[in-house]
A and B are shown apart, each in its own frame.
Chain A
Amino acid sequence: MLTFVEEILLLMLDDQDGRLVDLPRSAMNGVIAGAVLMDLAMHDRIESDLQELRVVDKTPTGDPLLDGPLASLSTAKDGRNSSAWVEDLARDADDLREKALARLVTRGVLRKEEGRFLWVFHTRRYPIIDDREQREVKARLRELVLSNEIPDPRDVVLVCLVEAAGLWDLVLTESEQEKAADRIAQLRKMDLVGQAMTQVVRDIQESIAVASTMAW
């Protein structure tokens, strides 16, 4: 089974040209940090409430993508909330993203292509070789948000990640998004770390928007 980091990266990749969607790097890093935390929660290593997020089991999961962040969490003082942890882990998310993409290449899901733009700038693309996982995740999300079925906890996490990354255009038509708006709003509340991550990413995007307005 893929980690949430891998699943959301697959969704963020354009299935035609293999480039990551146009999302500010700091916002993307917030999404990746949230994905790691929600993976750790699914592995019963952390839990949270409305006040704080804490480590309840320091035992490594055996997954290098998760065990570095778990080690960081384990050495911190108690009492920090989920938002603070999303912000902290987001600082190392470039490394997590590269590791997750490399793993998807190793698994045969992606192909890595290096190139140059205007003969100067280094570019990197990850065309999708095997799109089964991406199609299955999109189909599952569509079915979930367009129905009234009770979600399972993994599906709630995916909804949170897609919402935070602003990827609904890749999953639903415009009219389906209108129809599912209330349902998505409900589902994305159902994971407390997911809620915190969405808010952190929104705050980042708003601060970027304000900064660019001021620059004009």
Chain B
Amino acid sequence: MNLQQESQNGVVIVTPNGRLDISSAKLVEDSLIGIIDRGHTRLVLDLSQLDYISSAGLRTLLVVAKRVEAAKGKIALAALKPNVREVLEVGGFDRIFAIHPDRAAAQAAV
């Protein structure tokens, strides 16, 4: 798992690639919480490179969403692959996260 990170107009865009499962969940969680704790509370997760998400990955997203909420920030997801989107929808995570078709739309929403 690699996490690319960039900042545009006050929004931090993080692009994880590969699989978000138990082997990568801690890395992703620590990285995102580190970003939030440094005061960057407008976040976009560009999931265009994410191939798979497991239950551990869902838990990570929940922990991050809760931390963003506590920091009174905003987070949006962008460009999900159909299999990843299906898992998020089955788990009801589309009610927690704003899901956008692309990075630009997500960036405009946070």
Contacts and interface: CB of A to CB of B under 8 A. Distances in A.
B57 to A, nearest CB: 8
Given A150-B66, A152-B63, A190-B93, A56 B87 contact: no
Interface stretch (A42-50, A127-135, A199-207): A42-50
Contacts of A156: 62
Contacts, number: 61
B95 A186 contact: yes
A47 B54 contact: yes
A186 B87 contact: no
Interface string B52-70: 1111101100110110010
A109 interface: no
A204 B32 CA distance: 41
Nearest to A57: B22
B22 A44 contact: yes
A190 B94 CA distance: 10
A49 B55 contact: yes
B95 to A, nearest CB: 5
A152 B66 contact: yes
B33 to A, nearest CB: 13
Contacts of A152: 62-63, 66
Contact of B22 (A47, A191, A193): A47
Contacts of A47: 21-22, 54-56
A189 to B, nearest CB: 4
Interface residues of B, number: 23
B96 A50 contact: no
Contacts of A44: 22, 56
Interface string A26-67: 000000000000000100100111100000110000000000
B39 interface: no
A49 B87 contact: yes
A56 B22 contact: yes
A183 to B, nearest CB: 10
17 contacts: A44-B56, A47-B54, A49-B52, A49-B87, A50-B90, A56-B22, A150-B62, A150-B65, A152-B62, A152-B63, A153-B59, A189-B92, A190-B58, A190-B92, A190-B93, A191-B91, A193-B55
Given A44-B22, A153-B62, A187-B92, 8 more contacts: A41-B55, A47-B21, A151-B62, A156-B62, A186-B95, A190-B62, A190-B91, A192-B91
Interface of A: 41, 44, 47-50, 56-57, 149-153, 156, 186-187, 189-193, 195
